[in-house]
Chain A
């Protein structure tokens, strides 16, 4: 079964979000895939304020098991988080652990008035009580596959990739 076109899903998500998020809400993309989605949503929604990005490696709960990743990207939150509505944006929601790490990191920057979650794709396997407020599509892949978003010169593509 062919997977949906991410660009189409993003346009549909933007339509769904319009009017449902605060006019001064700030989007925060989680590296890597979430950042691409956040940039597109930001453009589609015509938001004026700056975009934020999170590299959650230092907040992950599997640090002790997999060690320190080589991570060249840094978290950038170029606005005041206090009192602002923040929309966390990620590409794939699976277990929910990345979002947990992102929430912890976000709260180290301040106290947002509310946090929403927008994800391009969700697959079964949640391990935490974390669910999206805005979802592109629920996608099923086999248990030994990862749902991977790639960016080929600005063209996004979803693929199911067998885990090595």
Chain B
């Protein structure tokens, strides 16, 4: 079954959220519009609405990530769902249980939704193919493949500050090779009609044939940042590096770290984004991370609303 038919039903409804690749533009816009409502819920004294009351959402993290897990947990709680956090990486799989056995066990506990992170690409798809009808799966990051809610919250952030996608130049800078976030962003940006998506990285940190995703490739940061409206910095994924792809992190900062001087090449009203957690002084300079063009903290706030939007759309399936 293709990604598209696995995550979108014949009636056009979202069944699972596995990837932004092939997600119809209309559905992406619906998610962003729904997120608008939830931003206002999060601004109230009582930051909670009852729409997923009685539903059980299992956060199943085969790969640790406290921050991502927390944002999903907050989103689920603000929708009044019950949240169960499972750090599976350190329990069952180390005892030899297979991925699907773990999922069948959790399903037997009457889960309504799984939020899955796994170091293997395709893990969330595998689970989505095997859960009962009506049970939804959200991919919270699988290997180097996809991290769709991050991609969508980045689209929400860009729309919030830039309103219209149709005349934007967006640059994605840094470790594209290891980044599932970059892939999710590129697919979503293309779907929403962004005319120019650039990737800026050394050759060693670019996937083979990255141009096929419809991006312009730059190895020189100064040239790549020229006249950009949006600059997205990626985290240098030290923990994912096998072998020496880079001479040193200091060298990387010199060529690809975002400093005020390099940012001046972009448009004066360009926004700076980063999916977090940041390596200050490696991919981004502190004065830029904390500067007036940075929207890194609003990204986190919007991320909760976007996850609420996705969960509420899946919860009504």
Residues of A within 8 A of B (CB): 55, 57-59, 63-68, 70-72, 74-75, 104-105, 108-110
**Given A58-B41, A64-B315, A67-B13, 7 new contacts (CB under 8 A):** A58-B37, A58-B312, A63-B316, A65-B316, A68-B34, A109-B44, A110-B45
Contact A109 B316, beta carbon cutoff 8 Å: no
> CB-CB contacts of B42-72 with A at 8 A, as 1s and 0s?
0011101111000000000000000000000
CB-contact partner of A72 in B33, B50, B313, under 8 A: B33
Q: A108 vs B43: C-alpha distance in the bound complex, in angstroms?
A: 12
Q: A104 vs B51: C-alpha distance in the bound complex, in angstroms?
A: 12
B40: which A residues are within 8 A, CB to CB? Answer: 74-75
B36: which A residues are within 8 A, CB to CB? Answer: 72, 74
Interface residues of chain A: helix, strand, loop or mixed (majority): helix
Contact B30 A70, beta carbon cutoff 8 Å: yes
Q: List 22 A-B contacts (CB under 8 A).
A: A58-B49, A58-B312, A59-B51, A64-B316, A65-B316, A67-B13, A67-B317, A68-B51, A68-B309, A68-B313, A68-B316, A70-B33, A71-B37, A72-B36, A74-B36, A74-B40, A104-B50, A108-B45, A108-B46, A108-B48, A108-B49, A110-B45
Q: A57 vs B33: C-alpha distance in the bound complex, in angstroms?
A: 14
Known: A63-B316, A68-B313, A72-B33. A58 touches B44 (CB 8 A): no
B41: which A residues are within 8 A, CB to CB? Answer: 58
Contact B313 A67, beta carbon cutoff 8 Å: yes
Which residue of chain B has its CB nearest to the CB of A73? B37
B44: which A residues are within 8 A, CB to CB? Answer: 108-109
Known: A59-B50, A104-B50, A109-B44. A66 touches B316 (CB 8 A): yes
Count chain B CB atoms within 10 A of each CB in A65, A67, A75 and give the residue with the most. Answer: A67
> CB-CB contacts of B299-317 with A at 8 A, as 1s and 0s?
0000000000100110111
Q: A70 vs B33: C-alpha distance in the bound complex, in angstroms?
A: 7
Contact A67 B46, beta carbon cutoff 8 Å: no
Count chain A CB atoms within 10 A of each CB in B13, B44, B45, B316 and give the residue with the most. Answer: B316
